[in-house]
Amino acid sequence: MRPLWIGAGVLGSMALSSVLWAQRSNKAAQTHPDGLRESRGQDVHYELKLVQVLFRHGARTPLKSIPDVLEAQWAPNLLKAPVHTQVDYVVTDLSGGPQPPAPLEDKYRAKILSGGTFSGQLTTLGMQQLYDLGERLRKTYIEDFPFLTPYFSPAEVLVRSTNIVRTIESARCLVAGLFQQKQKDPVTILTTEAENEILYPNYDSCQLLKLLGGPRWAESSKLPDIAADLRNIQSDLGITAHQKVDFVVIRDDMIAREVHGLPSPPVLDRWRSTVEQRAVEMMYHIYEPSKAKSLQLSVGPLLHALISNIEDKIQGMPSWACSFRKLFLYSVHDTTLMPCLMALGIFDMKWPPFAADITLELHQHRKTKEAFVKVSYVGKDQLLPGCSGIYCPLEEFKKVMSAYAVSFDHYRSLCK
């Protein structure tokens, strides 16, 4: 049996408009000549066996405000939870014990924004975004294709989240949308202590990642084109030279204001596309996808866990998650999705929007019994480099991931 953390271990904006989810084929269900039913997005030659969804939390308050710029008013009424996003849930550690301490959340709550709320908090808009994602998944896996039971069942669905309020609440809202608040049991949302978290690049516990990534963060703002634009936007915004600011901070506050309809400095209007571009370029430099080591240390054990879940399902191995599980839900961050997209070879040089998802489906060919993996991003099927088709043979998928996926034990040895 694999260690408990692996089965559970898989497992912070968005442009002016809300996310337009790209739908799969809208072809109505029809009868195939061999008598099988064909549903939207499901090929009759393949049987769906397992779904794993990594999703970013919804819209939130900014992590930091742009220095020397008038802050937006983040009033508590922006955080009110809609009734339809509520479910009966409990947060535990991976073994079902009490929720671990949350040092990252404590840091967010030490920062009170103008208006009275804390930094990094899921807003009403963000809650609705995750509810909408849940409804999209419901249409795909319950209504158009009857894969899941239409009510929440802990024997069928595992929910895992980073130990941060916005991701925990995002998981709750997605489950509410997916199952329309129908449940026979409370939803258990699994978390783990910060030192063992693999659902984001863990600079605090992985010393090698900190050693390699720290200088990359510092370098990213000093790259010639980025540094020149940063000096110019600081001047235009009236930010004093001594303030520590970069395009990631500027983008975070800018997008948070935009999606919530709060005023921004007018000068940002002409800088908007540049801010987006430079922030993404910074992150690309930090993760250094041309070198496997950075992605290994950022999301390697997460990728390994995804593959392990697939292999367990194929082999029918009894594990703590059990082979009957059909859906794994992982509530994560933009800093999780970006390196995952880079490792998969499908990063589009755009910041993952709020409520973006990477979905991995495991299929089995009905005749040959061969296993295939199909990956989608924000509802669009992806052809992975190194795969011979959208339905990627499992061995090809594992080969694509082999440069990045590492076991937790190997990860810990690398980190030290």
Indicate which residues carry an active-site annotation: 57, 334
Q: Kindly report the backbone phi and psi dihedral angles of residue 62, in degrees, each rounded to the nearest multiple of 5, phi listed first.
A: -70, 155
Torsion of CA 147, 152, 156, 157, to 10 degrees: 100
